[in-house]
């Protein structure tokens, strides 16, 4: 056996070991993911019924659903998107089109990455100390935990996701597109909004959907902001129920009927996030096909 054959066999062995370890790690991760999904599906389907979407959260030992929690989650998520999406879009456009190579842009990207990876409970505590406590003092304890505070906490989670995806999607657009538009006398604002942003709209929409998927299942920031409510509430200045918080509270309780509702809520959240993820993938695939 010459030196080349020994080297080839050595590389083949290393490649086989690396492939085995990679496949093993993938299988190990998929095993736990499959176990979690199957457990959620089996337990959730047993408690899934029409009452879940039509009745409010019940006292222990009685029948009920999660209608007020679904409404609260939808309300706060919608407000969070309305607040966070425009801010994220404007910041992402500024980073990609006006501060791409500047020192300030690099600093803003670094801060955004920190926010992107920050624990959500930290953002909830920030809203608690920066919004809830001052409002509580200013209004003589009339305004404290509230739906708007929960929406603000969720908006802080939306903003960095939208900023990152908008920045990256706009940077992927070819410079020749910008040069051609500028050569024709197109103003910078029209170039950015009507040409570059339109070309990157699929990626931007995907980022917004991913941000929605992230905030849908957040519990920690809502514990310190929206808190929870046993009843139906549409007042933005009062505590409001949300699905993640109800799941957390019911899962920690000793009551079997609450456990069943928690599993059903977890299944609905899982399916909703799955639909959002599939929708974002389909949007990207459709854009690539065109």
What's the pLDDT band for 289 if we cut at 50, 70, 90?
A: low
In whole angstroms, what is the distance from residue 42 CA to residue 248 CA?
A: 19
Over the stretch 181-205, which tens digit does the pLDDT of each residue have?
888 888 888 888 889 998 898 889 9
For residue 138, the number of C-alpha atoms closer than 13 Å in the C-beta half-sphere is 7
pLDDT of amino acid 182? 87
In whole angstroms, what is the distance from residue 250 CA to residue 218 CA?
A: 16
pLDDT of amino acid 287? 72
Over the stretch 90-146, which tens digit does the pLDDT of each residue have?
999 999 999 888 999 999 999 999 999 999 999 999 999 999 999 888 888 788 899
pLDDT of amino acid 262? 95
Q: Reduced to 3 states, what is the DSSP secondary structure of residue 19?
A: helix
pLDDT of amino acid 179? 87
Over the stretch 52-72, which tens digit does the pLDDT of each residue have?
999 999 998 888 999 999 999
For residue 3, pLDDT beyond 90: no
3-state SS of 2-55 is: CHHHHHHHHHHHHHHHHHHHHHHHHHHHHHHHHHHHHHHHHHHHHHCCCHHHHC
Domains and CATH numbers, the chain: 51-289 (1.10.3720.10)
């Amino acid at each position: 056996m010459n030196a080349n054959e020994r080297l080839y066999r050595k590389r083949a062995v290393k490649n086989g070991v690396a492939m085995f370890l990679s496949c093993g790690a993938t299988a190990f991760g998929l095993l736990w993911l499959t176990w979690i999904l199957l457990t959620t599906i089996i337990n959730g389907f047993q408690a899934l019924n029409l009452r879940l979407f039509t009745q409010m959260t019940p006292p222990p030992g009685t029948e009920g659903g999660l209608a007020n929690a679904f409404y609260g989650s939808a309300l706060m998520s919608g407000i969070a998107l309305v607040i966070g999406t425009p801010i994220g879009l404007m910041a992402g456009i500024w980073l990609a089109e006006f501060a791409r190579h500047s020192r300030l842009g690099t600093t803003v990207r670094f801060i955004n990455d920190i926010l992107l990876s920050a624990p959500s409970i930290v953002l909830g505590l920030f809203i608690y100390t920066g919004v809830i406590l001052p409002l509580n003092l200013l209004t003589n304890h009339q305004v404290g935990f509230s739906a708007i505070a929960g929406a603000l906490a969720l908006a802080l989670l939306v903003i960095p996701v939208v900023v990152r995806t908008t920045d990256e999607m706009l940077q992927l657009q070819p410079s020749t597109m910008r040069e051609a538009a500028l050569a024709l006398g197109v103003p910078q604002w029209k170039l950015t909004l009507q040409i570059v942003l339109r070309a990157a709209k699929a990626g931007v929409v995907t980022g917004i959907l991913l941000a929605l998927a992230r905030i849908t299942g957040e519990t920690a920031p809502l514990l310190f902001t929206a808190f929870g409510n046993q009843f139906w509430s549409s007042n933005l200045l009062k505590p409001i129920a949300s699905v993640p918080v109800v799941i957390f509270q019911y899962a920690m309780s000793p009551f079997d009927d609450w456990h069943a509702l928690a599993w059903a809520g977890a299944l609905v959240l899982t399916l909703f996030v799955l639909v959002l993820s599939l929708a974002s993938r389909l949007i990207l695939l459709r854009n690539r096909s065109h």
